[in-house]
Chain A
Amino acid sequence: MDAAQPAMVNTPEQVPQTISNRKRQTVIYRAFSYLVLSLIGLTMVIPFVWMISTSFKDATEIYRPNFFPQNPTTDNYEEVITDTALPRWYLNSLIVAVMTTISVAFFDSLAGFVFAKYQFPGKRAIFLLFLSSLMIPTEMLIIPWFIMSVDPPIGATWVDTYWGIAFPGVITATGVFLMRQFMQSVPDELLDAARIDGVSEFGLFWRIVIPLSLPAIGALSIFNFLGNWNAFIWPLIVTSDLNMMTLPVGLQFFSSENGADWHLIMTGASLSVVPLLIIVIVFQRYIIEGITLTGLKG
């Protein structure tokens, strides 16, 4: 927003501008934007490239400051893929991420819809109750959760199960909050008109609010999906079988009492980014462009 200022300095206030003046400003403004975005973009890319390039260095070369490997090797990839359960960790992470993302997309939207569009006693209290779940560090909940997982209310044990890894995140307060914020912009008149047409309350949610909120739901799903690839303390505690661990937990095994095998960690981390990157590239247009405008017109 600060970037907008320089171009505005010589704008005569309240006087209608000529079209060409406005256009010239736009050109300057865009050029400026490209410059700044490229600079910031560079800082975004460098660490990332460093990570990838490290994954092609051998164990001794990673401690040298050269940016690109002098003797590029794919040994790290071979070692990580063949000597560890990485493919399996990959699969586990994927399953857990898909599970929670589907659940989050549905339940968070539903709860967000209620908070955005209904008035009922206890609304503020219940909303704060949901939010309050964010206010306690999950590091403190490890032990209560583990006790629960060893002797769960449903089933025999949650230890070493996908559900066990996933359950703390199947509904998220951040998501409920996000959906509430976005669904507030759905016009009440639209819902009331539909009610008059005999649409049920769930029908309002499913047939009107969801289509209008698809960009937000998309964003929420992506964030949730990506967030699952970073969580490690809880998945670590609730799994003891190497074949049930997730990728971030697995990466922990490359650090030992003797220090960390950074060439392997970088390789694992680089590998873990690939599917995420594909998702971002494929879906980013969809998330942001969305169909908000067409939805509102139709």
Chain B
Amino acid sequence: MILLEWLQYPFVWSYQQTVEKLSLPKQKIFWAYVFLFIPLIFFLYIRIYPTIQAFGMSFYDWNPLAVEQEFIGFDNYAEIFEDVQKPALTSPTRAAFENTVKYVVIGMPLQLVLSLSIALMLSEIRRFVDFYRVIFFLPFVTSTIAVAWVFRWLYQPQHGLFNVVLAAFSLPTQDFLDSRGQALFSILAVVIWQGLGFAVIIFLAGLKQIPRTYYEAAEVDGSSRWQSFWNITLPLLNPSIVYLVVLQTISFLRMFAPVLAMTSQGDGGPLNSTTTVVLRVFREAFGTRSKMGYSAALTVVLFAVILMVTIIQLRLTTRSVD
């Protein structure tokens, strides 16, 4: 204990000699870097460094089983470029890019609107609130593989619950996962279903940060519920919305596990209709004949796309990041 106290003197002394002599803004900068030190080291070493390694692989005919890797320059990228020009039916890569765009463009807004609606309704009601919250959280705590299996049963062409219900209302039964036209939407529905709880909680936490007095004041001013929503709720919910838009976009762009678990053999079928870029990355990297270099190149392309989308989103949604 005495040792500890003694040990800190040089630090205290040097701190007093250096940092405390700085102006206040400069002191703040100093502390910002100190606080960020460990996270920065972590991200650089555990995330960025392996990412750079993976980027490096994209210039090789990289095979994990091989000792020496052959440098092939931009050949992997050229192959991707060729593959995306083929029809999606016979080119999984082309299909993967097409489908990934569909997942994001349809999935992200739908999930956002649904979860915000649910959160607003939840903050409105007074009884059974806990009960509903737990229910909306159920899918989120259930393992993806179990969820996938259950939905495969619900989607069954013959005895699946959905088709039984359709038949009961004398509506035509659907093929769902077994059809090229519906499979993607069937999977998307499950993903939205499973992620709803997360988004609802984020919105609820955001809504709780809005002081009730704002609404009371608005009510006194005679503004309608709809006006309050536009003028108070949405603007003050901005941090939550930005967060969810950016993160859900990224997560839809990186869609993988549900497709792996819900398609036969995890192949992203039928006929590539549900496959995604990350599923292709995984399949090409760990197939019988590994094409990890090609996978790495796909990763780089995906990375570039996500980075671009994220920067644009951050620019548009937060006018004052700095």
Contact = CB atoms under 8 A, between A and B. Distances in A.
A168 B46 contact: yes
Nearest to B64: A143
A77 interface: no
Contact of A47 (B48, B126, B139, B205): B139
Interface string A145-187: 1001000010000000000000110110110111001101100
A288 B243 contact: no
Interface stretch (B1-9, B70-78, B102-110, B127-135): B127-135
B31 A201 contact: yes
A267 B257 CA distance: 20
Nearest to A251: B145
A253 interface: no
Contacts of B202: 178, 219
Q: Which of A46, A134, A277, A289 has the most CB of B within 10 A?
A: A134
B159 interface: yes
Nearest to B299: A140
A178 B243 contact: yes
Contacts of A289: 208
Interface string A168-210: 1011011011100110110000000001000001100100000
A139 B50 contact: no
Contact of A145 (B50, B64, B144, B306): B50
B80 interface: no
Q: Which of the four size classes fits the interface of chain B?
A: 35 or more
A123 B81 CA distance: 35
Given A130-B43, A131-B310, A3 B117 contact: yes
A204 B127 CA distance: 38
Interface stretch (A68-76, A80-88, A94-102, A279-287): A279-287
B154 A133 contact: no
A33 B39 contact: no
A8 B226 contact: yes
Nearest to A12: B224
Contact of B285 (A7, A8, A140, A202): A140
A111 B35 contact: yes
Interface in B207-222: 208-209, 211, 219, 222
Contacts of A50: 150, 153-154
Contacts of A8: 224-226
Given A184-B239, A284-B133, A288-B133, A120 B222 contact: no
A29 B118 CA distance: 13
Nearest to B222: A16
Interface of B: prevailing SS: helix
Nearest to B308: A135
Interface string B262-303: 000000000000000010011001000000100110010011
A166 B292 CA distance: 25
A97 to B, nearest CB: 12
B141 A273 contact: yes
Nearest to B247: A174
B116 A185 contact: no
A219 B205 contact: yes
Contacts of A287: 201, 205
B301 to A, nearest CB: 11
B43 A171 contact: yes
Interface string B42-81: 1111111111011000000000100000000000000000
Contacts of A248: 143, 145
A229 interface: yes
Contacts of A280: 134, 137, 141
B278 to A, nearest CB: 4
A269 B149 CA distance: 11
A226 interface: yes
A5 B146 contact: no
Contact of A229 (B143, B282, B303): B143
A292 B29 contact: no
Contact of B278 (A11, A124, A139): A139
Contact of B150 (A41, A51, A130, A222): A51
B311 A128 contact: yes
A257 interface: no
Given A14-B222, A290-B208, A284 B134 contact: yes
Contacts of B25: 119
Nearest to B161: A46
Contacts of A276: 141
A290 to B, nearest CB: 6
What 5 pairs across the A-B complex have the smallest Cβ distances? A269-B146, A144-B50, A65-B159, A16-B222, A133-B47
Given A33-B122, A128-B310, A140-B296, 16 more contacts: A8-B224, A13-B224, A30-B124, A45-B135, A107-B39, A127-B321, A129-B48, A131-B310, A135-B250, A137-B302, A171-B42, A219-B205, A269-B142, A273-B141, A277-B134, A287-B205
25 contacts: A1-B116, A4-B229, A7-B225, A29-B124, A33-B121, A43-B193, A47-B150, A47-B154, A65-B160, A110-B39, A124-B321, A129-B43, A136-B302, A137-B281, A140-B54, A140-B299, A141-B47, A153-B45, A171-B38, A174-B247, A201-B35, A280-B134, A280-B137, A288-B204, A290-B208
Interface of A: 1-5, 7-8, 11, 13-17, 22, 25, 29-30, 33-34, 36-37, 40-41, 43-48, 50-51, 54, 65, 67, 107, 110-111, 113-114, 118-121, 123-124, 126-137, 139-141, 143-145, 148, 153, 167-168, 170-171, 173-174, 176-178, 181-182, 184-185, 195, 201-202, 205, 215-216, 219, 222-223, 226, 229-230, 248, 251, 260, 262, 265-266, 269-270, 272-273, 276-277, 280-281, 284-285, 287-290, 292-293, 296
